[in-house]
Amino acid sequence: MAEAVSILEALTAKSREQLMRHARPRHFTAGSALFYKGDDGSWLYLIEQGLVEISLMSLQGKKATLNHLGPGEVIGELSALDQLPRSADALALTNTGGLVIPKQRLAEVLRDDSDACLEVIRLLCSRVRNASDMFENRAVAPASVRLAHCVLTLIRKWGETDEQGILHLSQQLSQAELGEFAGLARENVNRLLKEWQALGWLQFHRGQLTVLDAPALQAILDQSE
């Protein structure tokens, strides 16, 4: 089986169909919260359209963005699996539509699909490793490395290539949102984006990011290792 990137992809077609029978549509307007850290985790959510931000707020009131999720991705499965409250906040960055799936239905399906259980374990272990790498990067890496890592991660996830072979980010993000994801102040993001635009590496205009020279950004990461 190919490596799954979501809980649903870890299931067999039969198990996935069984689970989706219990799904119900639900929409969230831009700026509204799907849930907050500490809320009861009674459901998971399959995003069909829109963009959702996963974040944590420190005791000092500083937000750390952990991830951005879009169409085809699932949110809230951790609480559905461990039966504990939500571990982070989830905010709809745009008008978002999707399907709510009760957590007990997921448990029922996994009990009958041992292969899927193993795949879910691999998926969650991969996420733990990715989270560890991300926090290590934020803790010790200089600003240029953090932002280059952020841009490349987003473009690999949501990049679309046009007829000229140029990479465009399909989701719009503000400089502040890029900064939250990279662990940088907006001023630092603005400075670096201007420098990289002058070098011809990328363009950023009204939330639309275009990468013109991905190898140049990758070189920043390679030089930091």
Give the mean model confidence (pLDDT) for residues 194-208: 94
Q: When comparing pLDDT for 164 and 126, which is higher?
A: 164
Beta-carbon neighbour count of residue 212 at 10 Å? 15
| Percent of the chain surpassing pLDDT 90 | 44
Q: Please check the confidence at residue 138 and state whether its pLDDT lies above 50.
A: yes
Q: Residue 41: which residues within 8 A CB-CB, separation 6 or more?
A: 35, 76, 78, 79, 80, 83, 84, 85, 86, 103
Instruction: Spell out where 29-156 has E strands.
Output: 33-35, 43-49, 52-57, 63-69, 74-75, 89-92, 96-102
Tokens encoding 177: 């949102």
Each as own residue / partner, the long-range contacts of residues 188-197 (CB below 8 Å, 24 or more positions apart, any chain) are 188/143, 188/147, 189/147, 192/143, 192/144, 192/147, 193/147
CA distances from 194 to 23, 71, 126, 190, 198 (A): 45, 30, 34, 6, 6
The C-alpha atoms of residue 164 and residue 161 are separated, in whole angstroms, by 8
Residue 35 binned pLDDT confidence (cut-offs 50, 70, 90): very high
The predicted model gives 56-64 an average pLDDT of: 76
For a pLDDT cut of 70, what percent of the chain falls above it? Answer: 90
pTM to 2 decimal places: 0.73
Residue from 225, 136, 132, 150 nearest 188 by CA: 150
Quick check: 16 pLDDT over 70?
yes
The CA distance from 162 to 63, in Å, is: 34
Query: In the prediction, which pLDDT does 1 show?
Result: 41
Question: How large is the average pLDDT for residues 119-144?
Answer: 71
pLDDT of residue 181: 85
Q: Best-predicted range by mean pLDDT among 76-80, 98-102, 157-161, 220-224?
A: 98-102
The mean-pLDDT minimum among 9-23, 24-38, 137-151, 200-214 falls in 137-151
